[in-house]
Amino acid sequence: MQIKIIQEPDEDHLIIRPFEQGSEPGNQEMFKAEKGEMWWYSSRELWLGLGKEPKLPGITKIFRSLFFKRKDRWPTDITLDARGKTAEWVGNAVNGIILGGYNLQLYKTEPKPLSDFFRSGTLFVVGNGHAEVSVAAEAAQKTALVQSRIMDLMNAPANYKKPETLAEWAKKSGEANGYSVQILEKTQLEAQAMHALLAVSKGSAEPPVMIVSEYKPEHYTKTVALVGKGVTFDTGGISIKPAANMHLMKSDMGGAAAVLGTVELAAQLKLPVRIVGVIPSTENAVDGVGMKPGDVIGSYAGKTIEVIDTDAEGRLILADGLHYALKQFQPDVLIDLATLTGSVIQTLGYEAAGLFTPSDNLAADLIKAGDETGERLWRLPVWDEYKEEINSDIADVKNYHGKPLAGAIVAAKFLEVFTAAHPAWAHLDIAGTAFGDTEFAPGRAGTAYGIRLLISYLSKLT
């Protein structure tokens, strides 16, 4: 799809005119401009209701829903009348329009048709401030295309998505977008004493990897390390999960997906921030040689860990990833993302991810970015009173407290042990937001959560 900014609408194209409630044209009793409402004013003019005082993330959802519902029926050329709208508004609308054409039918032999508009059509945008609107539209298009690639990755099943697959994705992206990628294979992980990652991988025939990406602009003042959990399938190991929803555990690499997408998009947008992406990746499978409850394992940080539950594996591989990022890159800011606990879903549902950080400033910046993008965060405590929950009698720390309370908080306290008390560390538990029920898929699907959030945060970091 091409995007062109124009000064006046072309009457030969289908024109979409958005209206907020209270600003809709008079003498149209059938059109109230309610959120998502459509009214065909003529065969060439579609009115779209935005509701009352819509926020920018809502604009994205409204346009995505509109274009998704009719994704096989759009003409090749469409004009969006955005006169009087800000460049930021246009960016959100364009992002939603492109995402409306996302095709989830990854492996169908006879996929449903998609209109030519999404493949080879043109979106004409009538807007004020030609240069600003053009920049916003271009950034929104790049963002949506990266989000779509990440949703493909999230939605792929485990037989199409192994640790090696994530590594190849990163290498190809680095080559295409001008950033460096290093893959630490199993022998290198052994040489570097990545014992926690290696322990989780023991039950799988697929070898683990550590993906290390680095986007380094010519001029920067800050280095941000992003660490993502990359468990490409999670059976729970010996502490095996129930069978009912285990097939959804193809999504347990949502943190890795967010990091991959953020690094790629940051490179495309040429953000003036050095960004390091560290992704420990493995399967967590069941095998006679696999890690067992009660085992004591080592870690890259040199600390010993008593494994109480092999299904609390994400925090184990993140322990090695966090400390590697700290030791090798000395970042100013350290952020990890992981589909880590069911506890955070019980707490926040599917509307927000859990945010854990000792830094009030970092919390405020991330929450603001979440509110701006609609990828919301809610801060939960990391008070030292929770430390006793990870005390072990025989090791430095244990990976699970075994209690039906404060599960997400205790997981964060475990990760904190491996951050060397970094003052600007944040943990994002995205278990409820990275993969879930949406109107855009018949079943649960990937959302690419975290990419817009992090890009918004990073773009303001100086």
Q: What percent of the chain has pLDDT over 70?
A: 99
Catalytic residue among 142, 241, 368, 379: 241
Q: What pLDDT, on a 0 to 100 scale, did the predictor assign at position 28?
A: 66
Predicted confidence (pLDDT) per residue in 13-36, tens digit: 999 999 999 887 766 678 999 999
* pLDDT, tens digit (0-9, with 9 covering 90-100), for 337-382: 999 999 999 999 999 999 999 999 999 999 999 999 999 999 999 9
User: Which position among 17, 161, 274, 315 bears the catalytic label?
Assistant: 315
Is position 315 annotated as part of the catalytic site? yes
Type of residue numbered 120: S
DSSP state string for 46-103 = EEEE--SS--HHHHHHHHHHHHHHTTTS--SEEEEE-TT--HHHHHHHHHHHHHTT--
Question: In this predicted structure, what is the pLDDT of residue 254?
Answer: 98
Please report how many Cα atoms fall inside a 13 Å half-sphere around the Cα of residue 243, on the Cβ side: 0
| Architecture of the CATH domain 2-144 | 3-Layer(aba) Sandwich (3.40)
Q: What is the pLDDT of residue 11?
A: 86
CA distance 229 to 24: 47
The residues spanned by each domain of the chain are 2-144, 156-459
Tell me the whole-structure pTM to 2 decimals: 0.97
pLDDT at 264: 98
In this predicted model, what pLDDT tens digit does every residue of 159-212 receive, in sequence order?
999 999 999 999 999 999 999 999 999 999 999 999 999 999 999 999 999 999
At residue 209's C-alpha, the angle toward residues 204 and 213, to 5°, is 155
Q: What is the pLDDT of residues 67-114, one digit of tens each?
A: 999 999 999 999 999 999 999 999 999 999 999 999 899 999 999 899
Report the Cα–Cα distance between both ends of the chain, in Å, rounded.
33
Q: Are the beta carbons of 423 and 358 closer than 8 angstroms?
A: yes
Are domains 2-144 and 156-459 of this chain identical in fold? Answer: no
**pLDDT value, residue 26:** 63
Fold of 156-459: Aminopeptidase (3.40.630)
Q: Is 171 labeled as catalytic in the residue annotation?
A: no
